[in-house]
Every structure is written in C-alpha cells, then in structure tokens.
Amino acid sequence: MKDFVSPDSIVRRIWGRADTILFIFAGASAEFALNKAVDWLYFTGKLPSDPIGRLFSTVQYARRIVFASHENALKAIDTIAAIHAAVEQSRQGKIPDWAYRDVLYMLIHYSIASYELLVQKMNEDEKAEVYDVFYRVGDRMGLQELPATYKDWLVDRQRHLRQDLQHSRYSADLFHQYKKHLGSWRFRILVEAQKMVVPDYVHQQLKFQRVKWLMPTVPLYKIARRLHIDTFIMNLLLPAAYKQQVLELNTMPR
C-alpha cells in the first residue's frame, strides 16, 4: 500500500523524533498566540482550558498523516476538515482560508527550523520535500492560493506573517495559560525554546529578549543525543501528564 510520505523522506526523520516535535510545538505555540484568527479556538473554550493538550493534538494529527498510508492520511485530513466545519457551523461563520494556510505554514516553517537547530542544516531539495508534503495536506483540505513551490512559499510566508499576526488580549491570555499549565520554570524553558525557532517578526511582536539563553546548551544536547541520554533530559523537563505521550513519539532510528 502506497504511503502518503516516503519511508526514507526527511519529513519522517523530522516527525519521528520527540525532541524535534517538541520544538515544532514550542514555535507554533508562540506564533499561534499572535494569529488574528485565534479567537476561533477561544469560541470552543478548548484552547484556553487546555492549551498544551490542544496544540499537542494538532501535532498528533500532523504526525498521523506523515506516517500513514496514502488512503489513511487522506482520511485523517478529511477528519480535520470535518472538525473545523463543525466549529464553523456552531459559530455560524467561516474560518478564513488564510487562517488555515497560516497553520499549514507554521508546520512547514517549524519542521525545518527545529530539524536545523537540533540535527543539521537542510539543503533546498529537502526543504522543498517538506513543503510538498504539507502542500498536499492543504490541497486535500481545499485550501486556495497555496504557492506552487517552496521558493514561492518563502515569499508568501513573509506576507502572511505581517498581515495575519498581531499581539492581542488573546496573545497575553494564551501565554498566561501556558504558564499556568506548565508551571513557572517549564514556562521559562518554553519561551527560551521559542526564541530559537520563531521568525524575527514573531520575536519582535512577542517582545522577546534578544539573548537566547538556551542556545549554548544545544551542542551539549546533541552530544547527549548521540550518547542516548537525551530521553533522561526530556524526562526531567516534561510535565507528567504528557511525558509518556511525548516519549512515544520516538519512532525513527537515532
């Protein structure tokens, strides 16, 4: 049976490691807080009541698609579309198409940024491969105006950042909820992780300090990864409620 993503794809290497997924999650949680359409998730009440769980479920859906057969991936994408359609019906409105593209663009950007931070730089073909996978996801969802190529996407990504993001009361509240659900010291680590992968524009909008305190620890973490003691480190950092779920994301060979 044909896979949606080739078994030897760079995308599976990115989404088959818990640490890269955590950085995807960290970056997306920062950028998502600024999105002008974030009020749609406040409408259901699920995001403010469980922001970590809500964002983690988004990551889980993306991962299901990456490791699924072509047929099952399409079913998962259709399920995502149906969930959003139900929210639209409840609110009697339509989520803007640009908001769907924004979430897709986050997954593309943070997949690349996280892998390059924790593993190695990617070449243009690998980046184009990441884009192709998520382009096919967006196309199945019926999204309009998706750029045809990775290079075209780079231009559109910058346009979306400046048009669709703004600091609002939702931004402040979401970061308050992150801190409430993670605790002070884990929240501090989250912010430091976000600073290493978010675009400059997001960094500016959130008024992050310029100093990236965690950056000097990245080479040490890479050594820990090679020595297979990275799981021990993550065990110390992860909230108990999500520890097992996160560690089970390690499905690819080291």
Instruction: Give the DSSP per-residue string, 111-168.
Output: HHHHHHHHT-PPPHHHHHHHHHHHHHHHHHTT-SS--SSHHHHHHHHHHHHHHHB---
Mean pLDDT of 190-210: 95
Is the entire prediction scored with pTM above 0.75?
yes
**Which two tokens mark 69?**
């057969």
CA distance 154 to 58: 23
Instruction: Identify the residue with better confidence: 48 or 73.
Output: 73
The pLDDT assigned to 253 comes to: 57
Chain centroid to Cα 31, Å, comes to 9
DSSP classification of residue 165:
B
Instruction: Identify the residue with better confidence: 17 or 203.
Output: 203
- φ, ψ at 35 (rounded to 5°): -65, 135
Q: Are 39 and 93 in contact (CB under 8 A)?
A: no
Taken as a whole, the chain contains a residue count of 254
Chain centroid to Cα 134, Å, comes to 12
In a domain, 15, yes or no: yes
Which structural domain, as residue segments, surrounds residue 137? 10-247
The pLDDT assigned to 108 comes to: 97
Q: What is the mean pLDDT of the chain?
A: 88
CA distance 49 to 174: 10
151-159 long-range contacts, CB within 8 A, separation 24+? 153/105, 153/108, 156/105, 157/105, 157/108, 157/109, 158/201
Lowest mean pLDDT among 50-54, 176-180, 244-248: 244-248
The pLDDT assigned to 62 comes to: 85
In a domain, 1, yes or no: no
In a domain, 63, yes or no: yes
In a domain, 252, yes or no: no
The pLDDT assigned to 58 comes to: 77
pLDDT at 236 over 90: no
In a domain, 2, yes or no: no
In a domain, 62, yes or no: yes
In a domain, 195, yes or no: yes
Which residues are bridge partners to 35 per DSSP? 165
- For the chain, how many structural domains are there in total? 1
In a domain, 127, yes or no: yes
Which residues are bridge partners to 165 per DSSP? 35
